[in-house]
Amino acid sequence: MTLLPLPAFSDNYIWVLHDGQRALVVDPGESDGVLDWLGTSGLTLDTILLTHHHGDHTGGVRALREATGARVVGPRAEPMPEPLVRVGTGDTVEALGLTLEVFDVPGHTAGHIAFFCDGAGTGDAPLLFCGDTLFSGGCGRLFEGSPAQMLASLGRLASLPDATRVCCAHEYTLSNLRFALAVDPDNDALQTYAAHCQSLRERNLPTLPSSIGLEKRINPFLRAEQPALERSARAHDPDTPPGPLGVFTTLRAWKNVFQ
Write out the catalytic residue numbers.
52, 54, 56-57, 108, 132, 170
Task: Report how far residue 148's alpha carbon sits from residue 48's, in angstroms, rounded to the nearest whole number.
Answer: 30
Task: Report how far residue 153's alpha carbon sits from residue 144's, in angstroms, rounded to the nearest whole number.
Answer: 14
Residue type, 165: R
Contact indicator for 172, 138 with CB cutoff of 8 Å: yes
DSSP 52-112: ---HHHHTTHHHHHHHH--EEEEETTS--SSS-EEE-TT-EEEETTEEEEEEE--SSSTT-
Task: Report how far residue 131's alpha carbon sits from residue 52's, in angstroms, rounded to the nearest whole number.
Answer: 7
Q: Is 232 exposed, middle or buried (0-12, 13-18, 19+ CB in 10 A)?
A: buried
Walk across the sheet containing 98-104 and list its strands.
92-95, 98-104, 113-117, 127-131, 165-168, 210-211
Task: Report how far residue 73's alpha carbon sits from residue 61's, in angstroms, rounded to the nearest whole number.
Answer: 11
Of the candidates 217, 216, 245, the residue with the CA atom closest to the CA atom of residue 233: 245
